[in-house]
Structure 1
Amino acid sequence: MTDQGFSTKAIHAGWDPDPQTGAVNVPIFASSTFAQDGVGGMRDGFEYARTGNPTRRVLEANMAAIEAGVYGRGFSSGMAATDALLRATLRPGDHLVIPNDAYGGTFRLIDKVFSQWGITYSVAPVVDPEAVAAAIKPNTKLVWIETPTNPLLNVGDIAALADVAHAAGAKLVVDNTFATPYLQQPLTLGADVVLHSTTKYLGGHSDVVGGALVTNDEQLDSDIAFLQNGAGAVPGPFDAYLTMRGIKTLAVRMDRHSDNAEKLVDFLVAHPKINTVLYPGLAGHPGHEAAAKQMKRFGGMISVRVAGGKQAALDFCAKTKIFTLAESLGGIESLIEHPGAMTHASTAGSLLEVPDDLVRLSVGIEDADDLLADVDQALA
């Protein structure tokens, strides 16, 4: 399906109507085990649902297709995917480079868990390939980036960072959760593996938790698959079904998310209660040039720094009515949060600590005028 458009692949990749029943959608195969035709005689490779499930297989093929990849693996959460990738690629004594504003959960896993097993890390701004190169050591195995980053929405030039990583013999990992494969396809730009929290835009309806890894590297996929089965952090068939249902409308949703975000950005830039608007679509954004080069549009995530400091930021979060105060992002409904006290609390006191006047907005697909009015009254 490589010659087909994104939405066609999102809707059809991995599944044809069932030849027996004509079912257009993949069934939810709610079976923990599968009958075998004699000892070792698996049917189509299925034996036990942790190892493989027909619904999950379709999801994995679909995710690989929309990321322009060959191999896809589904996980029970984005953090489970993160953990599997780190364990598949790092050994005691190895080193990795992470963004200086990485997602709090990623930082916590590396800083608090993998550090106990002799893994070290350095931080660098994704906007500066030279700084990333300077952070690499002889034992660096991974350069791990988010672009745009969570929550400061910095943008890394994927192609340039891939060159930096590969020159040092390291792999480039791109967390593509914020951009989604509709807006950006890192594997086509030189990345070695793409990670998603499918909980976010791919699922898109705040009703399922999941993660994914996509690569073109057969050996890396084999190593990931071993851990996927051996550690068992796999999505159930209903989770896989819900994620696929979300992916089918990803393109139309991302266009609406982007439309609404752009209107809200224009409003916030002119608002006296907002000191700074962080959005890759702004010409003055430090990553705008890279974003314009590698992204189709600039997405539905906005961060702002509120005049008046932390208390003003907390007040803003408390006063919205349509924007729901909640963690997570990427759903059809608009969400607001204070990263320093919520999603990124684990970075407090570290090099990754976020400003306490920062508010993150996940702009949904409601009517734009209603979102503008809600933000206006909350800031009044």
Structure 2
Amino acid sequence: MNAPRTLSPDTLAAQALGWIAPQHRDLAPTIHPASTFERAADGSYPGGRLYSRDQSPAYDQAETLLAALEGGHQALLFPSGMAAATALVQALEPGARVLAPHAMYWGLRNWLQELATRRQIALDFYDNADGEALAAVLRTMPPRLLWIETPANPTWEVTDIAAACAAARAAGTLVAVDSTVPTPLLTRPLALGADFVMHSATKYLNGHSDVVAGALVCREDSPVWQRVRQNRAQGGAVLGPFEAWLLLRGMRTLPLRVRQACASAQRIAETLHGDARVAQVLYPGLPSHPGHAVAAAQMQGGFGGMLSIRVAGGEAAAMAVAGRLQVFKRATSLGSVESLVEHRASVEGPGTLCPPDLLRLSIGIEAVDDLLADLDQALDAPTRMADRRPA
């Protein structure tokens, strides 16, 4: 008899693992709002649950699906991406050294810096795209945890995950990868040697701007993972049942949304590349991008739905372009069905490492011709304004 065929990620996501509720054979997943569960007369738990804070059946299907998509041992849901990331760092030993990239989500970078000022961790930064320098640091001053974000928000530098993990393994360093942007459909960090994967599930996994959630996935069980589980249970950093259900519903269309966003982002990047109104297009799908070759090797099926443009004319021109966009929505976040634009430097505020002329674009699932037309009319604004000025 032939072995059962391994299902593709598209099928696993679309059918949410194919789980069927036993009583009524429901195709739609069930919402589990119960906060507590009945004990038997002898004090045992015939349903296998004690209390929903860490044992809610609301999490089971979404966590199992995400672990399957990532090829991991287990996944845990959290009430935000920050809650997931901080749960992992807080599971390290006090004073542990963390090595983080210069280009990364600014909220997490600020939190790590604050933690370091209180001497709860030691913190150093590395250049996302300089693999040789990263390997040298890992050899000479090995940290307890290496944090990788690739492509890195919002300038989209690329880190070679496999090479970094090999160097980290030799140094006895754990590796965690923020894979929010590529999703498990484009990159599977655990297969490249990482120990943990983090997602801001608010973004692509949910994809509909109606849930704030986070997730961690581990490659294998470990004392650090057990502390993450214990901290979530004791600290109560858990997701509500309705939010878990919405997240699972969003994950069922993940392949379609990611595929559309990747195709549109690639076309937009290629169209704007070389446009005199744009000083630079930052997108790893462009052959001119310094990390293109590495991205092509570790990202399968596309280069993601995120890109940034640096607008010719500087910060004022960039703000003018953002203000004139009509199809793109001016909003924080990414990975949703609607396309978003954000002037990141003003959002991040003092201490930002983001260039002031940069606009971050999150490409949704709209018709790409509509998005290109919107960008075209918005980019014309600074030019028309300049033409009206006296000589």
The two structures share one fold, judged by TM-score above 0.5: yes
- Give the Å deviation of 1:40: 4.7
Q: Which residue of 1 aligns with 2:131?
A: 129
Q: Relative to structure 1, is the Cα distance of residues 274 and 308 closer, same or farther in structure 2, using a 3 angstrom cutoff?
A: same
Q: Which residue of 1 aligns with 2:37?
A: 34
- Give the Å deviation of 1:2: 8.5
* 8 Å Cα contact 2:152/2:158 also seen in 1: yes
Q: Which residue of 2 aligns with 1:238?
A: 242
Q: Which residue of 2 aligns with 1:93?
A: 95
Q: Which residue of 1 aligns with 2:386?
A: none
Structure 1 Cα separation of the partners of residues 350 and 40 of structure 2: 51
> Match for 2:9: what amino acid?
F
Comparing 168-177 with 118-127, greater Cα deviation is found at 118-127
Query: In the alignment, is residue 57 of structure 1 matched against residue 60 of structure 2?
Result: yes
> Match for 1:235: what amino acid?
L
> Match for 2:332: what amino acid?
E
Q: Relative to structure 1, is the Cα distance of residues 2 and 185 closer, same or farther in structure 2, using a 3 angstrom cutoff?
A: farther
* 8 Å Cα contact 2:37/2:47 also seen in 1: no
1:1-380 counterparts in 2 under 5 A?
3-14=6-17, 16-38=19-41, 40-88=43-91, 90-136=92-138, 138=141, 140-219=143-222, 220-296=224-300, 297-342=302-347, 344-345=348-349, 347-348=351-352, 353-380=353-380
* 8 Å Cα contact 1:76/1:233 also seen in 2: yes
- Give the Å deviation of 1:361: 0.1
- Give the Å deviation of 1:84: 0.4
Q: Which residue of 1 aligns with 2:388?
A: none
5+ long unaligned stretches in structure 1: none
Structure 1 Cα separation of the partners of residues 317 and 42 of structure 2: 66
5+ long unaligned stretches in structure 2: 381-391
Q: Relative to structure 1, is the Cα distance of residues 120 and 198 closer, same or farther in structure 2, using a 3 angstrom cutoff?
A: same
Structure 1 Cα separation of the partners of residues 166 and 5 of structure 2: 25
Structure 1 Cα separation of the partners of residues 350 and 78 of structure 2: 23
* 8 Å Cα contact 2:115/2:121 also seen in 1: no
* 8 Å Cα contact 1:13/1:61 also seen in 2: no
TM-score w.r.t. structure 1 length? Answer: 0.95
Comparing 35-44 with 63-72, greater Cα deviation is found at 35-44
- Give the Å deviation of 1:188: 0.6
Structure 2 Cα separation of the partners of residues 319 and 193 of structure 1: 41
Q: Relative to structure 1, is the Cα distance of residues 288 and 2 closer, same or farther in structure 2, using a 3 angstrom cutoff?
A: farther
Identity of aligned residues (%): 42
> Match for 1:53: what amino acid?
S
1:275 counterpart SS class: strand
1:177 counterpart SS class: coil
Q: Relative to structure 1, is the Cα distance of residues 2 and 31 closer, same or farther in structure 2, using a 3 angstrom cutoff?
A: farther
Structure 2 Cα separation of the partners of residues 248 and 134 of structure 1: 42
* 8 Å Cα contact 1:64/1:214 also seen in 2: yes
1:305 counterpart SS class: strand
Structure 1 Cα separation of the partners of residues 298 and 85 of structure 2: 23
Structure 1 Cα separation of the partners of residues 145 and 289 of structure 2: 27
Structure 2 Cα separation of the partners of residues 347 and 85 of structure 1: 25
Structure 1 Cα separation of the partners of residues 270 and 117 of structure 2: 43
Structure 2 Cα separation of the partners of residues 2 and 247 of structure 1: 22
Note the alpha carbon deviations across 1:156-179, whole angstroms, 9 max, x for none: 111001011111111111000000
* 8 Å Cα contact 1:104/1:345 also seen in 2: no
> Match for 2:106: what amino acid?
G
> Match for 1:319: what amino acid?
R
> Match for 2:324: what amino acid?
K
Structure 1 Cα separation of the partners of residues 5 and 360 of structure 2: 36
1:72 counterpart SS class: strand
Larger Rg: 2
Q: Relative to structure 1, is the Cα distance of residues 139 and 115 closer, same or farther in structure 2, using a 3 angstrom cutoff?
A: farther
